Every structure is written in structure tokens, then in C-alpha cells.
A and B are shown apart, each in its own frame.
Chain A
Amino acid sequence: MAPKLEVEDLNAWFGTKQVLKNINIKIEENAVTAIIGPSGCGKTTFLRCLNRMHEINPDARVSGKVLFNGLNIYGNGVDPVMIRKKIGMVFQKPNPFPMMSIYDNVVAGLKLNGVRDKKSLDAVVRRSLELVNLWDEVKDDLNKSGASLSGGQQQRLCIARALAVEPEVLLMDEPCSALDPISTAKIEVLIRKLAKTYTIVIVTHNMQQAARVSDYTAFFYLGELIEYGPTKQIFENPKHELTEKYITGKFG
């Protein structure tokens, strides 16, 4: 099976500060890949380079290739807006759109790209909310504000919103760090479920979470990819001394 995303010699900067150094990694299709590492190691920047969100920051710069289904997303004439439709993102803090109903939140991406047909929007809302196990909880309150939900529900709403535009890859930036353990467990189960049909890359500062949900784990340190392999191998038998130190908590 060909990898879904192939990163070749990726470098990233903020101003003059280099935050990613020569990253090479192949991300497998229909699997969960976890990115772990201490704060400031570049894991979030790496994630944001995968759907061209890094460049939103005015003094950000990128070099290298990211092949998505074989196409370089940093190639000439590639529209970042199209890339972001295919490679969705979920953020650290649940961020439903303000002053919008649950329904409108889910279909915001479609509506803003010109889909108007009420029937197909209804179907998308139902399908997306069912996918994130939220439908039964909110089906009678679709017109309520997205902000009226609990933190865990909001985050699942945000995942539904990302899924509604039918991406192939889902990038998750510490999706559970603002949630309680029960909501976290629900999101983790959801991630495993989604991995059957989506390629998922998740950044987490919680190593146990990486161990629980991922099939592959990449360890970043000071902007470099130190070790990458099957999660079982990384957590049972890491090859690199730094990885061993980090996951056993002997860092520093």
C-alpha cells in the first residue's frame, strides 16, 4: 500500500528561527500516526505543514515536499484552499463557530463553498454527527447554539464539521488536551473508529494517548524526527536512546 502522505526534506521557519529540520516521513493510509515529543519540538508546526496551515502566519516559511496521493502540495499552482478541503484539521481547543447553530456549524464548510441543497445538507449533518457518535445526543437540538454543548461534545462537533467536507486525511492537534478523562476516552474510541476510513495524524503531549490510539508513532525532538515506527515497537523497544529517555520520563 502506498503511503497517503510522503514528506521529503521538510524544513520550516518562523522568521529566522528554524523549527523543523529535514523531516522525512511516510504516513500510512487508514492508520493513526501519533506525533509525540516535548513542548517546542515542532510537532504542531509539522502538523500544520501537512495542510499548508503553517503559512497563515505572516513570517512563516517552508521548504521541501509533502506528497499527498503523490501530488506535491507545495508544488507550483497548487491551491492551498483545495488542499485544506482534502486534509482537514481539528484543534486543541474546541472551536465551534460563534453565533451558529449545531446544524450550521456542521455544514459551514459546505455552505461557504456554495452547497445550498437542503436535502443533501440534512443528509451530511446526520451522517457526520453519526460518525462522531453525537447524533443521538443532539438530534433534537440541531438549532441550538454550538457553544451550548459540553466541551467534549463541542470537540466532537468540530470533528463532525471537519468530516462534513469529506477530507481524506484528518489532522488533530492535541484534540483532548482541554477535555476531561471521560470525554477523552470517547474521542479516543472515535479516533480508532475513524481510522478505518480516514488517515489520521494526531499530535499529542500525552504519551499514553499516543500508545492507546496510534498504529505508528513519530518522536520529534528540537525540530528533528528522532524515531518513527510501529507504536508497539516505539513503546516496547525504542531504537533511539532519546526516545527511550522521553517515553520513560527520564528526560533532561
Chain B
Amino acid sequence: MRKPNYYKLRLIKDRVMFLLVYLSLALALIPLFSILYEVVQRGIPAINLDFFIKPTPTVGEKGGGVANAIQGTLITIGLASVIGIPVGLMSGIFLSEYSEHKLSTIIRFFNDVLSGVPSIIIGVFAYALIVRSIGFSVIAAAFALSIIMIPIVTRTVEEALKLIPMNIREAAIALGVPRWKTVVAIVLRGARKAVVTGILLSIARIAGESAPVLVTMGFWRWWFAGLDRPAANLALNIFIFAMSPFENWIVLAWGSALILILLVLGINIAVRIFIRGRY
């Protein structure tokens, strides 16, 4: 008796599944590439020398640039990182390395809640806490952004450290290395790629935030004038410029969008090159 030709049937099924998977992938990539295409196509005409060296033009003025917004964004993100990264890093270490501690379950729970809070609410919180006492300022914006950052950093650091097997820690402890040194020099070092990736993701996330920036810093058309004053911001520029009726500003909005994407990409690449190890 001849066996039915299951092989051919299986082959067809395999091909169909393969095709489906690829179609899904293509479907997911379409929006990504169309956004990129749109931003690049519309943003490039805005890019020229003035764009990088001149501040926001006055209404009706020709030309101008977003140099003040690039400056302001870098300063704000920088300050937010200085607050957010250490706190997030240490909470992550605490949750991963001292998970037997009673507090860790509670901290993990609230951290998860925090990461789910809409960013505008965090902005309003910063407004109530800081803006009302010292006014719209870089400090207030950086504070709000750092609070958005902390749960992301905490979670990714915790996950990254947990990927280092327990017996690596035991090996270090058995060598007579104190526990905190084990965590810093062995565990954190072993997980540094994943840790840095998590931090980069959080930076990219806050670089694109506009709502909390709006309520803590407002729109600022001039150069950076001190941490207790507002500063210009790329994400906010996009929002304000795009809503405006002025053609010049709309062009600048597209340019800002392109620069924001490139900025995030640039930070990513730069840090990756910096931490690129041999292993």
C-alpha cells in the first residue's frame, strides 16, 4: 500500500506559515517606514546652517532655526538623567539583589504603578510641587521627566541584573569579595549592555515627551537662561510650531521632528560605541 504523501502537504503548510510571518512583519514595518519617510522628506527642506545656529524666529520673521531648542532639550534631558538614572539604577539593584527584603515587593508594585501613570499627570504633579514655588523652569521639567524615567530604568536594570545567574554571584562571594563589590564589579559589569540599553530607552522616551514639558516649562523662544528659567524644547517646538498658522514655523516643526529622531539615534549610537566591549 502506498503511503499518502504527507511530506508534500507539510511542505505547503510550511510555506504558507512562512509567508504569513513575513507579511505580518511587513505590515508592522509599513507605519515605521512611512513615518520615517514623511519626516525625512518634509524635514530636509528645513535643514540649513541657520537651522542649527539661530534661535526661534519671531512671528513673521523669515529663516531662523532651532538651535536654542536643541540646547534646551540637551540640558533638560541631561539634568533629568542626572536625577533619574542614579535613582532608577539603585532601585533596580535593590529589587534584583535584595529581593528577599520585605520592602522590595512593595517597591516593585509602586514602580509598576508609576510607569503606568500618564505623563501629563506627572507634569501636573511637578507643576504643583515646583512650578508653584519657583516658577516655570528647567528644574521643574527635568524633575517631571526624571520621574517618568525612573520606573523604566528601575525595571530594565532589575531584569538585566536578574539575567546574571546566581552562581556568578556565589563565585564572587566565595572568593571573599564583599557583597556590594560583587554587585557593582561583577553583576552590574556583566549586565552592563542590557543596563545601558535600558537607560537609553528611557532617555529616548523622555526626549520625546511634550505634555509634561508644556505644564512645567511652557513655550520658550529664547536661549537657555538658567536652570530656574524655562528653556526651549524640541518636542514642544513640534507641538507649538505645527499648531501655528505660520508657514515658516511649520517647516521648522518638520525640521525639529527630524532632528529629534536623529538626536535620539545619535545618543544611542554614541553610547553603544562608547560601551562596546570586546566580548
Residues of A bordering B, CB below 8 Å: 51, 53, 56, 58, 81-86, 88-89, 91-93, 95, 97-101, 108-109, 112-113, 143-145, 147-148, 158, 161-162, 165
A53 touches B186 (CB 8 A): no
Q: Which residues does chain B contribute within 8 Å of A145, judged by CB atoms?
A: 278-279
A-B contact count (CB 8 A): 89
Residues on the A chain within 8 Å of B186, using CB = 97, 108, 112
Say yes or no: A98 contacts B173, CB within 8 Å: no
A85: contacting residue among B168, B176, B189, B190, CB under 8 A: B176
Q: Does B177 contact A (CB under 8 A)?
A: yes
Question: In the complex, which of the residues B176, B177, B277 contacts A99, with contact meaning CB atoms closer than 8 Å?
Answer: B277
CA distance A89 to B171 in the complex (A): 7
Indicate with 1 or 0, residue by residue over B182-200, a CB within 8 angstroms of chain A CB atoms: 1001100111110000000
- CB within 8 Å for A53 and B164 given contacts A58-B100, A99-B189, A147-B279: no
Give me 29 A-to-B residue pairs in the complex whose CB atoms sit less than 8 angstroms apart, sorted by A's number.
A51-B174, A53-B170, A56-B173, A81-B177, A84-B176, A88-B175, A89-B170, A91-B167, A93-B167, A95-B165, A95-B168, A95-B170, A97-B168, A97-B172, A97-B186, A98-B168, A98-B189, A98-B279, A99-B193, A100-B190, A100-B279, A108-B175, A108-B177, A109-B172, A112-B185, A145-B279, A148-B279, A158-B171, A162-B175
A56 contacts B171, CB within 8 Å?
no
Asked if A97 and B279 make an inter-chain contact with CB atoms under 8 angstroms apart, the answer reads no
With both chains docked as a complex, state the minimum distance between the C-beta of B252 and any C-beta of chain A, in angstroms: 44
Residue among B173, B178, B185, B192 with most chain A CB within 10 A: B173
Given contacts A53-B170, A95-B167, A98-B164, contact A81 B279 (CB under 8 A): no
Contact between chains at B174 and A162 (CB < 8 Å):
yes
Q: Are A53 and B174 in contact (CB under 8 A)?
A: yes
Partner of B177, one of A58, A89, A112, A144: A112
The minimal Cβ–Cβ distance linking A91 to chain B, given in whole angstroms, is: 5
With contacts A91-B167, A95-B168 taken as known, whether A81 is within 8 angstroms of B190 at the C-beta atoms is no
CB within 8 Å for A143 and B278 given contacts A109-B176, A112-B185: yes
| A residues in contact with B177, CB < 8 Å | 81, 108-109, 112-113
**Which B positions have Cβ atoms within 8 angstroms of A?**
100, 164-165, 167-168, 170-178, 181-182, 185-186, 189-193, 277-279
B168, B176, B181: the one within 8 Å of A82 (CB): B176
Which residues does chain A contribute within 8 Å of B277, judged by CB atoms? 99
Question: Contacts A58-B100, A145-B278: A89 and B174 contacting too (C-beta < 8 A)?
Answer: yes
Within the assembled complex, what's the spacing in Å between the Cα atoms of A91 and B185?
Answer: 20
Whether A97 lies near B190 (C-beta < 8 A) is yes
**Residues of chain A contacted by B173 (CB below 8 angstroms):** 53, 56, 84
B100 to chain A, nearest CB (A): 4
Given the interface contacts A58-B100, A95-B165, A145-B279, does A100 sit within 8 Å of B174 by beta carbon?
no
A89 to B279, CA, bound (A): 26
